[in-house]
Structure 1
Amino acid sequence: MGSTPTAVGYLRKDVSDVHQPWDETQIRTLAKRFGYELIKTVVFGPATDDPEWRLVNVVRALRVDAVITPSLAHFGGEVPATLVGTCELNTVTPQATYTRRYDEIRRATGA
């Protein structure tokens, strides 16, 4: 978009539950600390059909550089390959960054 990298937040309503406001605050805080302009936070519920694909569509439509999520629990505990192939993924807890090369690195190290 501009010279400042952009990001969207992502969380699952059923995973955050009563902690959703806190999770949204954590997303905003990490975005600011990492120097991202947070465009929006995408919230899906348990009935959302194919949430990973829908999130990838949002990422592509907004042309953001990263997605920030409270934890991998919001993706069922797994690094979402399709998403990481599209943009960077940052988690709040544990603080981690998964880049577009994540799968390539994982295969090379046997992880």
Structure 2
Amino acid sequence: MTRPNVLGYLRRDIAGIHQQAIEPLMRSAAGDFGYSYTKTLALSDPFASERALIALVANLGVPAVIVPSLKHFGDGRPPEALMRLADVLVMEPRAKFTRIAPTGVS
């Protein structure tokens, strides 16, 4: 059975010198969550980075994103626009935020 893909996301300004150590941990955690790790998007600016992440998730159609911690989001929580596209997996503390179901079926 093929595992669904997950995109890694981290902010360089938060990961700092630990970025290279964090990426393999994200790959391992993705497997623990039942996903296949595809690649990492590593950016610095909190809000521009989130816009880039949301655009990439929309373009790739990945069903999930994994982050080292909620600190990697500008306001400490997954952006609603991202949650409409994908699940968000968090390594520390371990959590899974399930995608927001579309509303207003017509």
Q: Specify if TM > 0.5.
A: yes
Quick check: 1:37 aligned with 2:40?
no
What is the match of residue 65 of structure 1? 63
* In 2: Cα distance, 1:82 partner to 1:35 partner: 23
* In 2: Cα distance, 1:64 partner to 1:3 partner: 14
What is the match of residue 3 of structure 2? 4
Alignment TM-score, normalising by the size of structure 1: 0.81
What's the CA shift for 1:95?
A: 0.3
Change (3 A) 1:49 1:81: closer
* In 2: Cα distance, 1:85 partner to 1:72 partner: 17
What is the match of residue 53 of structure 1? 51
How many aligned residue pairs are there?
A: 101
What is the match of residue 104 of structure 2? none
Change (3 A) 1:49 1:71: closer
What's the CA shift for 1:3?
A: 4.0
Runs of 4+, deviation exceeding 3 Å: none
Alignment TM-score, normalising by the size of structure 2: 0.84
Segments of structure 2 that go 5 or more residues without pairing to the other structure are 102-106
* In 2: Cα distance, 1:80 partner to 1:22 partner: 25
* In 1: Cα distance, 2:57 partner to 2:14 partner: 21
Give the CA RMSD over aligned residues: 2.2
What's the CA shift for 1:35?
A: 2.1
* In 1: Cα distance, 2:78 partner to 2:2 partner: 28
Q: Deviations over 1:37-62 (max 9, x none)?
A: 1111000023x762212101111111
* In 1: Cα distance, 2:40 partner to 2:9 partner: 6
